[in-house]
Structures are given as structure tokens and as C-alpha cells.
Amino acid sequence: MSNISLLTSDILAVNFDASASPSLDFTLSGTNSVSQSVGWGLGWYPDSQQSAIVIKDPNVRAGQVLTDTIADWSNFRSTLFFGKMRGADTGYSQADTQPFSKSFAGRDWLFLHNGNLDKEALSTLHGRQKRLLEPLGSTDSELAFCNLLAQLQESGVRQLSDIDPHTLHAWFLRFDGLGSADMFLTDGQSIACFQGSQSPKQLCYSRLQPPDRQEVYETATVRLAITDPRDTFRTAFVVTSAPFSVGNWSAMRPGQLLIVNHGAVVWDSAPENTQTGFMSAPSQPSQLQQEKRPLDPIQAEQAQSQTSPHIIVTNVKSVTHSPEGGHLSYRLYEVMHATQYRYSQPVEHSTHLFRLQPTEDSIQTVVYSNLAISSPIEEVIFDDVFGNQSVHGTIDKPYTELSVVATSRVKIFAAPPDDHSPSRRQTSIPLIWMPWQRQMMMPYLLPLELPEPQLRELTDYAMSFVERNDYHLIRTINDINLSIYRDYEYVPGSTSLNTTPFEVYASRKGVCQDFANLFICLTRLLSIPARYRMGYIYTGANYANKIQSDASHAWAEVYLPYIGWRGFDPTNGCAVTQDHIRVACGRNYIDATPTSGTIYKGGGEETLSVEVKMREISE
């Protein structure tokens, strides 16, 4: 038996978070025989267009590789690449070689299949479909492809993201009883990857992320090189029957469907993973907490005549139940923020600025707030231009130690979920602003001054979230928030106050301040106003980064038209609800820093220590 007969087919799907130019080599060697041939096919969407390019050769002599055909990959930029390496077989024509491509609903669709299906049963399943959905070749694979497109046509959808994932999963499961049904289907945006229960080869997947991502990945038949300098920070999601020798690979389960978009899984049929995709909003652990200290109900009459006025409750604190009937209650916290300065020489003259009183607004009430300073100080209390309650003080009496202790008791009221149904509540990107609105929001729309190549790279990164979520506003924001939590490592001491959002993006690590800055930068590049928020977080809800309970915490807030400012915590991957106490806000950290000051005379070497204690109490 010759070596070529031992070759089997492999399928490969590579999906990047933004356009990339990888180099792909299909090595189809293993025999010196000239009587048999193997084949390969490759498809991609140049510059993320809706039209695909497919190149394939059904009869390649042993020893030939794909790079014999394509010498310069730098001109082939796409977010998605489909490839198949077919083992020894005879009688294959161009029409029978994968990937298959068909135009449907204004875009090219690509399809890959590894295995064999009962063609007679498949023909019966396909039934009488339109001639436009008849296969060009004679393979069972293309017939299955036509059947999937027929199902899409009958459902009236135009792209994969329009179909309910459970419905799509059911379509693939129909093929599972007809033989081996490992399949990839894409519309150029999303990829559906299905592992059959009778697979000839195990499908595996891995997410290759910077900065630890390698430049070259290899198997016996495939070589993937991500060496273009423009692709340094690209994330690649790979699903293949021939996993590379390096990387963290997960095996797909029989009957499992993954839907991938712009380098990440957006839906997974595995029961324990159904809530991990980006199609659903990140969890909000404390939005509707267990019942605690019910408010005195202030409720309208339950039965009103048709002539009764329409009652609008404008005081959120008086709302005791959500529209679904869930009970809303407030939570009560005490916070102590102590800052201790020590100096090697006496400080003879200094000025200080403190922003330590929590915000008072529609959902947060300050029961009391005190500021104790160990040295006599001449203070001025005022609201700064961002609305933060601030204390400016001058100290003229010499000191070597200065203690600043802020103590607050705060109520956080639960608010009903935002209603995005009214027509003026914009749900898609880009947001539409009146000129005067844009002028008012301009401080929150300007990203940090960075070199143009860095801003271009961050813009591509931001747009990958938009495209992955079909330009849906809230899903995009949730995706950015949750992705920073999942993909970036929380490493205290790894950054400084001067660390830029691009440096955080490049290193994929930082602390809460860095993650907030990156979130703000990405949303501003999408013309979504965003600001920096300083405050505290109660970690009794078992958040991942519990270290923040011992220090002030930072997160971001975005302004949504006809909704207002809403908080997102990328350090913990959640929306801001009743576990966060909001204190100061501004364009950046400098505008919202809790304590700052200037020493005009004396001081020497300074030692600083900060302690924060936060606890939930009952009245």
C-alpha cells in the first residue's frame, strides 16, 4: 500500500478579529507516485467584502504546495479563510473540490465538509428545491450545502446572524443521521462549525491571542504563518481537524455547534456554554438582589379607567418592582477611605484637592459623608466642572505626617432595566448626534492623543466588536466590556499612571484603571461618549478581582441617547449596579483622582499608604 492512500482529508477555518494576511501552505507530500493525486482548496473574502475568492486544484501531484500558486500573501487581507486538504482520490473535478461557493441573498457563501453522507437519503431530505439551489457538482457535500441555503431561503433570512442559533443547530443535526457530517458554513461574517457524531476526524478549536501568540503554526499538512507586521496584534480563532502542535486546543463534542465571528465564539450549543457567547449580555450579578429592606410601596392604582391620566414615575427611588414583577430594594454601605502621607522632612506649605464624597443622584443617596484631616486646613468646598463634590485646602502649619480619612454611608437603589424600545432610543452604531449635542459631549468623544498607526490599530480593534455584533449598540458595548475581562490579565504593578490604552492593548494586561482607559478609548473611537469613573466596589458578590475591595476602583461610563450615563466595569466584566459606589468622574484619571496636592516648600521623600474598607450594613 502506498503512503498516499494513508492520507485523509482535513478542513480548516481561520477567523481573525480584523483583516489579516496570513501565509497558508498546504503540504501534500508523502509519496513519489505519479499515478495518484491529491487536492486542495482555499476561500477568503478580500478586504472583508461580501464577495469571496476561491482557488482550488483537484489534482495536485505529490510534493506541490499552495505557495507554488500564491507567492505574495501580503495582498490577500481578510478576516476569514476556509481551506480543505483532500487525501488521495481519483475522479475529482474542479466542480467537486471544496470549498464550495454560492451566491445567496447578496453575498457569497462558503461551505466545507469532511466525511460522507448518504446521498440518496440526502436527496430525499432536500426534496424539490429551486433550480438556483441545485448543486453544480456530484458530491453529497454540495447537496448538503444547497439544502442549508434552501432552509435559509425558506426562513426569509439573509445572513447567519439573522437565524436563531438553535434553529441552525437543528438543521445540522438532520445531517448527523446520514453519515459523517463535520461542516463549516460562512456568509463572510459568521462561521458555523459543526462536529458530527460519526466524524472521520476530531474537530478542535483554539483562540490564538497576542502577545503570546506565535508567528508560525504547523501540522503535517498545514503551515499557518502570521508574520505580516500589520497583524502583530491580531487574534485568530482556528477550528480544524488537524490541530497545530502548539496552542491550547479544545475538542468539539459530537453534535456540537460553534458560531464564530471576528475571532471569538458568539454561540456554543454545549449546555454549560450557552450563556458565554457575545450574543447575550454579560451577567449582572447584583441588578436584582435578593429581597432586603423593602421600601414603603408607592404605587399607582392598579385599575384605572381609560380616561385616567398616564402616570409616569420620575423618581426611580420610589419604584419598588421591575416591569416583570421582580422586587427592587436598596442596599446600604459604609465606606472608609484612609490616606496616610509620611515625609522625611517637614512640609511647610502645601495645597490639596480631595474628591471623596460619593455622588448624590437618582439612584444613589449619601446618608452622611465626613472628611477628617490630621492638620489644620483652610478649606473651600465646591462642585467642580464635572459635578464632583470637591474640597480644596491649604495647610501652612509644618507637618511630617498627614492623615486624610473619608467616611461615608451610602444607599444604592435598584433600578428597573433600561427600556430600549422607544424609537428615539438609538440601538445601532453609528449614533446620531445633533451638532450642539456633539459639542457638549466633545470632551468625552476625543480619544487620547496617540500616534496615528496606534489609533488606526485600535480603531480596527474597536470595529471588530461592531461587526461581530451587527452594529448593535448595546451588544457591542457589552462585548467590549466582557472581552477586556476575558482576554486581559489583571496584574497589579504591571503598569503606571502613564500607561497608554495602546500599551494595554499590546500587552493584554493591566489593572482597573488601564482597563477603564482602554474601554473609554475604544468607545470614543466609535463616537460613543465615555468618561472615567472612580469609586468603590463591594466584592461580596464574589467578583474575580477581589483586590479592588481594598482600594478605590475605576470603571467607565458611556452616554446613551435618551437613556443617560451607564456604567460598565471591564475589570470584572459586568454592568455597574448595586455593588458599585460612584464617587468622582471626568475625562480621565486626573479629573477624578480621589486625592492630589502640591508641596510648595519642604517634604523630602514621600511615603504613601491607602486603605479602603467597605461593608454592607443593615439599618
Which of residues 89 and 293 earns the better pLDDT score? 89
- pLDDT in the model for residue 274: 46
- Per-residue pLDDT band for 25 (boundaries 50, 70, 90) equals confident
Q: Which residue has the higher pLDDT, 195 or 322?
A: 195
CATH number at residue 150: 3.60.20.10
Q: Residues 84, 112: contact at Cβ < 8 Å?
A: yes
> HSE-up of 557 (CA within 13 Å, CB side)?
25
For 181-199, what is each residue's pLDDT tens digit?
Answer: 999 999 999 999 999 999 8
Same domain, 49 and 154: yes
**Residue ranges of the alpha helices (H) in 297-341?**
none
Clarify whether residues 406 and 444 are in a common domain. Answer: no
pLDDT of residue 136: 84
Q: Is 253's pLDDT higher than 90?
A: yes
Q: Report yes or no on 284 lying in a domain.
A: no
pLDDT of residue 49: 87
**Do 484 and 537 reside in the same domain of the chain?**
yes
Q: Are residues 602 and 554 in the same domain?
A: no
Please give the pLDDT value at position 423: 78
Give the pLDDT score at 209.
Answer: 92
- For residue 231, the model assigns a pLDDT of 93
Q: Tell me the mean pLDDT in the region 46-58.
A: 88
Torsional sign, CA 488, 494, 499, 502: negative
**Domain membership flag for residue 325:** no
- How sure is the predictor about 425, in pLDDT bands with cuts at 50, 70 and 90? confident
Residues 144 and 9 in one domain: yes
* Residue 486 CB neighbour total at 10 angstroms: 14
Q: Is the pLDDT of residue 52 over 50?
A: yes
Q: What is the pLDDT of residue 60?
A: 72
Residue 443: exposed, middle, or buried by beta-carbon count in 10 A (0-12, 13-18, 19+)?
middle
Q: Does the structure show a pLDDT above 50 at 508?
A: yes
Residue 200 lies in a domain: yes
pLDDT (0 to 100) of residue 307: 54
Q: Which residues pair with 331 in a beta bridge?
A: 412
Q: Are residue 197 and residue 61 in the same domain, yes or no? A: yes
Q: What 8-state DSSP symbol labels residue 157?
A: -
| Residue 277 reports pLDDT greater than 50 | no
Give me 525's grid cell: 473611537
- Closest to 536 in 3D by CA, of 519, 520, 554, 518: 554
Residues 476-505: tens digit of each pLDDT? 999 999 999 999 999 999 999 899 999 999
Q: Is the pLDDT of residue 612 over 70?
A: yes
Q: What CATH number has the domain bearing residue 353?
A: 2.60.40.2250
Are 385 and 447 part of one and the same domain?
Answer: no
What integer best gives the mean pLDDT of the chain?
85
Among 273, 291, 315, give the residue marking a domain's end. 273
Residues 519 and 607 in one domain: no
pLDDT digits (tens, 9 = 90+) for 546-582: 555 557 899 999 999 999 999 999 999 999 989 999 9
Answer whether residue 425 is part of any domain. no
- Note whether residue 308 is domain-resident: no
Instruction: Provide φ and ψ at 354, rounded to 5°.
Output: -120, 130
Percent of the chain at pLDDT > 90 equals: 61
Q: Using DSSP bridges, classify how beta strands 107-114 and 250-251 pair: parallel, antiparallel or unpaired.
A: unpaired
Across residues 64-83, what is the average pLDDT?
Answer: 73
Per-residue pLDDT at 90: 62
Please give the pLDDT value at position 465: 97
CATH code of 517's domain: 3.10.620.30
Which pLDDT score, from 0 to 100, does residue 296 have? 47
Residues 78 and 21 in one domain: yes
Residues 406 and 474 in one domain: no
What is the pLDDT at residue 543? Answer: 61
pTM: 0.86
pLDDT of amino acid 126: 73
pLDDT at 294: 45
Evaluate whether residue 201 is within a structural domain.
Answer: yes
131 — alpha (psi -120 to 50), left (phi > 0) or beta?
alpha
Of 25-39, 247-261, 409-423, 432-446, the one with minimum mean pLDDT is 25-39
Higher-pLDDT residue of 343, 291: 343
User: Based on the domain organization, do 442 and 387 belong to the same domain?
Assistant: no
* CA gap 479, 138 in Å, rounded: 42
Q: Is residue 156 part of a domain?
A: yes
Residue 429 is assigned to a structural domain of this protein: no
For residue 170, the enclosing domain spans 3-273
Q: What percent of the chain is predicted at pLDDT more than 70?
A: 84
- Are the C-beta atoms of residues 390 and 353 closer than 8 Å to each other? yes
Domain total for the chain?
3
Position 512 confidence tier, pLDDT thresholds 50, 70, 90: very high
Q: Are residues 344 and 391 in the same domain?
A: yes
User: Which residue reads 500500500 in cell numbers?
Assistant: 1
